[in-house]
Chains A and B, each alone.
Chain A
Amino acid sequence: MNGCGKYDDLLARHLHGEALAPDREELDTHLAVCPECANLYRDISAIDRVLRDYPAKVVEPPPHLHSRIVANLPEELPPLWGGWGRWVFGFGSAAVAIVALFFGARYLVTLPVERVASAPSPASTPQPRSATGAVAVPRSPVPGKPPVLKAAPGNERKRETVVAAAPTVQVVKEVKIFFYYPPAQKVAVTGDFNDWNPEGVPLKAAGKPGLWETELRLPPGVYSYNFIVDGELLVPDPNSTNQMPDGYGGTNSILLVKGEGSI
């Protein structure tokens, strides 16, 4: 397919119905003389048809559901749990525990012998004051991007889920990602959503030869991503028309997860 590279973009635009008439003519002329491109065109058109017919049952949430959930959220925890506050509270608790233990021990040492020997039942044993300092402090979630949430077994068909993980409620959407690349033995997707983990989220064979797929559950937002082919190559999604320079001399595909009911 030497010299066919310039037709890739044209082919993509044509498949998306964005090619102008002269471009289409040029492409048709090329397809007539290049069997490899003609085969590629036929294959991609077939995949395109399969994807268009894919039964995507979207369950729309009732209007204003999102607003109502947000309106009923508890107020955010005060910043006591973050940064300095956490340190001070942690050390404070430890210090209180130490001081209480110190006084508790002194109290026990100064007890009359006969009182200790009377050995009351455990239920009535006076608790050392350190118990008040040993409160288990629940750690607040680490601020950061929400992690990639994989679909729980049996839950794959839901199109929108509200995951309640105190203290935040996050609307997440399931997004199917397809990648057509017949030579690949192994494909994964990586991006903002998993902090560009070099392992990525693996794609599995989608039934058709060379077609790979996976499902991500993401909150609404904009995500940059690339595919990892056979553990090495980072390539943008050839099916995505939404791409951006990555600032490193390459290209990222952009995944847009819309809010308010639709992907």
Chain B
Amino acid sequence: MIPRRAARILFSVLLLLATAMPAFAQKTIDDLCRAHGVGGEENLRRIGQAYVAAVQAGIPEDVLLPFVEDILRHKLDCGQMVRVLDVTTRLRQADLPYFVVFSKVREGVAKEAPPARVVEAAEAKFNTLTASRDVLKSLGSMGYSILDRQNAAVVVSSYIEKGYSGEEIVSQISKKGIQGAGFAALSGVVEKPVKRKER
């Protein structure tokens, strides 16, 4: 049996380490920003805050840090970085596929798009993904099973980007089914359970 004193020490160590986590994350991002020439304590504080929020939302640092490094290389300024990190965090908190924003940003980097445009594209992606959540909710209430929620959100958001509204997608599917309505990409990720015949 662990003596009471040992338990107290263990608890203290755990508490200390848990409270130290944001400090570790903050230091990591500070070092990275400084290495890329981001100056100003206020800038570092804001970026650090956004980064720690993303980590606390559940985005693994081994995914987040290389992404931040990519956008630092692409010369996004402090405000732009905070905006990108913010939409990423909000997607993670909503259990939506935040990595789509990573991909969209990296697309902009690959195409050498101006930083302002990259941020706009990331925010546009956030908006379509958020709208896709309502579509999936409606499909769920219509009896569809969402087999792969993250991928389904990506597919629905791409239809929204193509010009369909959320209501239109739901109404077309309710009338004609997924295949009939021409939303074939949804067929692997959303499924209508087959009703068993009553004997």
Chain A residues engaging chain B, CB cutoff 8 angstroms: 64, 66-67, 70, 79, 82-84, 86-88, 91-92, 94-96, 98-99, 103, 142-145, 171, 190, 192, 195-198, 219-222, 224, 234, 244, 246-250, 254, 256-260
Contact = CB atoms under 8 A, between A and B. Distances in A.
Interface in B92-138: 97, 99-100, 102-104, 106-111, 113, 117-118, 120-121, 124
Contacts of A222: 154-155, 158-159, 185
B184 A256 contact: yes
Interface residues of B, number: 50
Contact of B17 (A66, A95, A190, A198): A95
Given A248-B121, A259-B187, A221 B106 contact: no
Contacts of A82: 58, 60
Given A70-B147, A87-B21, A221 B185 contact: yes
B56 interface: yes
B191 interface: yes
B13 A221 contact: no
Given A83-B60, A198-B110, 18 more contacts: A70-B147, A83-B56, A83-B58, A88-B14, A91-B21, A95-B10, A99-B6, A143-B60, A143-B99, A145-B103, A220-B187, A220-B189, A222-B185, A234-B111, A246-B121, A247-B108, A248-B121, A258-B187
Contacts of B159: 222
B58 to A, nearest CB: 3
A247 B104 contact: yes
Nearest to A91: B17
A40 to B, nearest CB: 27
B1 to A, nearest CB: 12
B162 interface: yes
A85 to B, nearest CB: 9
Contacts of B59: 83
Interface string B41-71: 0000000000000011111101100000000
Contacts of A250: 111
A198 B13 CA distance: 45
B188 interface: yes
A95 B185 contact: no
A219 B97 CA distance: 15
B189 A248 contact: no
A196 B191 CA distance: 30
Given A95-B10, A195-B103, A234 B185 contact: no
A248 B117 contact: yes
- Residue among A84, A144, A224, A258 facing the most chain B CB atoms (10 A cut-off): A144
B31 interface: no
